[in-house]
Amino acid sequence: MKKLNLFIFVFSLSCLIFSSKTMALEIDSAYIVSHYSEIADKIIDYAEKDSSSWTRLSYLCDVFGSRLSGSISLNNAIDWMFEEMKKDGFSNVRKEEVMVPHWVQHNSSTELVFPYKKKIDVLALGGSVPTPNGGISAPVLVVESFEDLQNHKEDAKGKIVVYNFPFDSYGRTFQYRWSGADQASKYGAVGSLIRSLTQDISVIPHTGVMRYMDSVPKIPGGAISPQDAALLGRLQKHGITPILKIKFDTEILPDTISYNVMGEITGSEFPNEIIALGGHTDSWDVGLGAHDNGGGCIATWNAAKTIKELGLKPRRTVRVVQWVNEENGTRGGQAYAEKHKNEKHALVFEFDSGVFEPSVIGFTGDDKMLAILKGMEPLLKKINPDMIVRKGGGGVDIGPMMKLGIPGMSLGTNDEGKYFLYHHSAADTPEKVDPKNLNQCIAAIAIAIYIYADLPDYISTK
């Protein structure tokens, strides 16, 4: 009898193991709908009724202000996040040191001197060298492209080169901000200004990072509004050579200490397998960084908070990571990858596309997993009927981890052409963020993250 009971026990255990393996092998997109539809409904309902997320975003922006790497305001904001994550009940809340660049813009000004006097709003680009103490007064050469500059290189010596290019996309026009000063310096220019990377025809300049090569002299680089760049271009076409005076009081200080801040929901079955998600805490030194990227930080943070407060217990550990220094150095993402490269990450997730109606969950990883994740679409369409899951996800902060072979995921939004009205400018403030859109983004992230973190163990195939 004992032998019979032992046989029955062993046989039952074998069937259980076989059944578990069979489930793992047969899991498909339909599994997601059948297992997570009710949970998705709870997440959406919770997020839609939550008013604390937008309040938390406005507090981050309004109380701490702009948060450029190296600034006291950024580290104060990180300290606040650290304390709030502890109050939220996340486990293993901590700050990890990151050495970040420390560039400061004390004051920048530009004035049209000829053919008449006019103040022109300007921002020094991130990393720009200062002008001499008295500033630089020089005639202007307006060009529309690097090819145009090449064609007029003999005219560039001693000039302030102004790039007045059409803004058709960020990807195509970023090059003028990144290397415009170097290209102008090659031909003897004394300064460089770009038309801001925005479709907004106003007097608001938009800033961003630039770089210098050691092969040419470093000249100051700045950004003016599309309206003012267009004015200078028209004057040149009228046969008038404008004269500008630029004065940039900037300073490059030694690298300083900042932090990645993080907290966790410990996995119920595979606690050593990690889903890391977040945004970046730093912003530029103008505006309040609401879309870029305070909203990304709050959305990912509160998505994990939603999972926690609903009492959901995913199989894997969900780790909220707010990376530092995305804007002018990417040190936070690099430091995270170096420190945590030997941990078992199942996924890294980043949200840095502006807080608008969620439209896409992008995934970079195994095609079989992508096919399974397509099963999230019916659940996500409850938030936005047009929402899809597609190939291609990533971000600057998670890039170093993705290079190690970790799958990447990101949330894309439908900004209806609005994002670059605010991007890297004084206009990036909390009232530009619709609380409904923020809650929709939180719900979409929470659904995607919870499902991925809770899938059966075959997700971790090497």
pLDDT for residue 441: 98
Mean pLDDT over the full length of the chain: 93
One domain for residues 351 and 310: yes
pLDDT for residue 459: 54
- Which of 326, 327, 350, 357 is labelled catalytic? 326
pLDDT higher than threshold 90 for residue 4: no
One domain for residues 134 and 226: yes
pLDDT higher than threshold 80 for residue 278: yes
pLDDT higher than threshold 90 for residue 201: no
Closest Cα to residue 157, out of 187, 181, 132, 131? 187
Residue 418 placed within a domain: yes
C-alpha 265/C-alpha 303 separation (Å) is: 12
C-alpha 89/C-alpha 86 separation (Å) is: 5
Do the beta carbons of residue 172 and residue 199 sit within 8 Å? no
pLDDT higher than threshold 80 for residue 458: no
**Arithmetic mean of pLDDT, 417-425:** 97
**Arithmetic mean of pLDDT, 4-21:** 37
pLDDT higher than threshold 70 for residue 164: yes
In the chain, the number of structural domains is: 2
Residue 452 placed within a domain: yes
pLDDT for residue 22: 33
One domain for residues 269 and 218: no
Do the beta carbons of residue 163 and residue 143 sit within 8 Å? yes
What CATH code is carried by the domain that includes residue 429? 3.40.630.10
Do the beta carbons of residue 384 and residue 359 sit within 8 Å? yes
One domain for residues 231 and 352: no
pLDDT higher than threshold 70 for residue 456: yes
One domain for residues 191 and 289: no
* The two three-digit tokens of residue 138, written as one number: 């020089």
Closest Cα to residue 274, out of 376, 396, 387, 404? 404
pLDDT per position as a tens digit, 241-252: 999 999 999 999
pTM for the whole structure: 0.92
pLDDT per position as a tens digit, 98-123: 999 999 999 999 999 999 999 999 99
Domain with 213 in it: 116-241
Q: What are φ and ψ of residue 302, in 5° steps?
A: -75, -20
Do the beta carbons of residue 396 and residue 427 sit within 8 Å? no
Q: Lowest-pLDDT range, 5-19, 77-91, 275-289? A: 5-19
Do the beta carbons of residue 364 and residue 392 sit within 8 Å? yes
Indicate if 326 belongs to the active site: yes
pLDDT for residue 248: 98
Alpha helices by DSSP H, listed for 186-252, are 226-237
One domain for residues 216 and 260: no
What CATH code is carried by the domain that includes residue 165? 3.50.30.30
